[in-house]
């Protein structure tokens, strides 16, 4: 297992676990012949659903925020090349995409479909992500000779954190890093997702709201340089890693804390 080494982390150790949260979120959502979901023009989730549709043989419809722009950007071109049908919602309607009216209009137009929410975060996705921590247990021990204390992940729509926290053994904590600005609402959203999946909420997790670097898909020279230096995805993963570094330097972890940072995706297009 790789370790984040090239920055001054004091006695805190940070291990990098490459693990695609999209695959885990989709696992228990598979089985329907037609899946409709939502995302922005660069959405990792849209690409993941399109690729899963191609691999497992189900039809996919991607509802994209905003106007159609041609030629398609590389992310949507990839989704289309997997066979995904792309359709567009103006930003106002997109904001209301999960209301009964908009869902009804989509069902009217697209027929019998499984509607997956933006980011794929639903109860089945939470249960898929909860399978990660038990797998970490033996892997971390074997690779590093010790147990971990904290699991970190980026937070967009909250399903990944909700699942990881639910799957943690006693005594460990999960810390999510919000990639959106003003994301205080995510605390209730993660709790809602845990409730939906398991009928209860865990108290072993929290969300860092201070490392969004200006907001969703925003960047800074520091963030860009860090992402390039480490070859990591910038919208989610680099923000989490820089957040961990800042916390380690600022005394945000007890001395000697062993952190597992879940590297939830790779840069697209690949570097």
Active site residues: 43
Is 44 a binding residue for ligand PLP by CB under 6 A? The answer is yes
Applying CB under 6 A, which of residues 115, 155, 164, 248 lies at the interface with ligand PLP? 155
Structure tokens at 107: 């069902």
CB of 203 closer than 8 Å to CB of 178: no
CB of 141 to ligand PLP, least distance (A): 25
Instruction: Name which of residues 181 to 200 contact ligand PLP (CB under 6 A).
Output: none
What Rg value do the Cα atoms of the chain yield, rounded?
19
Give the residue with the Cβ less far from ligand PLP, 71 or 270. Answer: 270
CB of 119 closer than 8 Å to CB of 159: yes
Applying CB under 6 A, which of residues 62, 128, 133, 159 lies at the interface with ligand PLP? 159
Instruction: Name which of residues 115 to 134 contact ligand PLP (CB under 6 A).
Output: 119, 121
CB of 135 closer than 8 Å to CB of 96: no
CA gap 146, 269 in Å, rounded? 35
Instruction: Evaluate the CA torsion angle 102, 104, 106, 108 in order and state its sign.
Output: negative
Is 233 a binding residue for ligand PLP by CB under 6 A? The answer is yes
Applying CB under 6 A, which of residues 53, 128, 133, 154 lies at the interface with ligand PLP? 154
Is residue 174 helix, strand or coil?
strand
CA gap 202, 154 in Å, rounded? 18
Mark the segment that binds ligand PLP (CB under 6 A) among 1-9, 86-94, 98-106, 150-158: 150-158
Q: Contact residues for ligand PLP (CB under 6 A)?
A: 21, 44-45, 119, 121, 154-161, 233, 236, 264-265
């Amino acid at each position: 297992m790789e370790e984040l080494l090239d920055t001054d982390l004091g006695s805190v150790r940070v291990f990098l676990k490459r693990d695609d949260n999209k695959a885990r979120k989709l696992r228990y959502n598979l089985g329907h012949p037609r899946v409709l979901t939502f995302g922005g023009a660069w959405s990792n989730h849209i690409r993941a659903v399109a690729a899963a549709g191609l691999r497992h043989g189900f039809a996919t419809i991607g509802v994209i925020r905003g106007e159609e722009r041609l030629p398609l950007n590389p992310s949507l071109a990839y989704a289309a090349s997997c066979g995904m049908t792309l359709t567009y919602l103006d930003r106002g309607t997109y904001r209301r995409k999960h209301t009964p009216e908009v869902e009804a209009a989509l069902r009217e137009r697209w027929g019998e479909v499984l509607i997956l929410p933006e980011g794929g975060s639903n109860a089945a996705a939470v249960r898929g992500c909860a399978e990660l921590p038990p797998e970490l247990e033996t892997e971390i021990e074997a690779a590093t000779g010790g147990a971990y204390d904290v699991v970190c992940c980026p937070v967009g729509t909250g399903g990944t954190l909700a699942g990881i926290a639910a799957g943690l053994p006693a005594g460990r904590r999960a810390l999510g890093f919000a990639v959106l600005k003003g994301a205080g609402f995510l605390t209730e959203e993660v709790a809602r997702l845990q409730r939906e999946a398991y009928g209860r909420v865990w108290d072993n997790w929290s969300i860092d709201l201070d490392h969004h670097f200006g907001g969703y898909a925003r960047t800074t020279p520091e963030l860009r340089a860090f992402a390039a230096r480490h070859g990591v995805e910038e919208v989610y993963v680099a923000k989490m890693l820089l957040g961990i570094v800042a916390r380690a330097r600022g005394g945000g972890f007890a001395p000697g804390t062993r952190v597992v940072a879940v590297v939830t995706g790779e840069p697209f297009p690949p570097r």
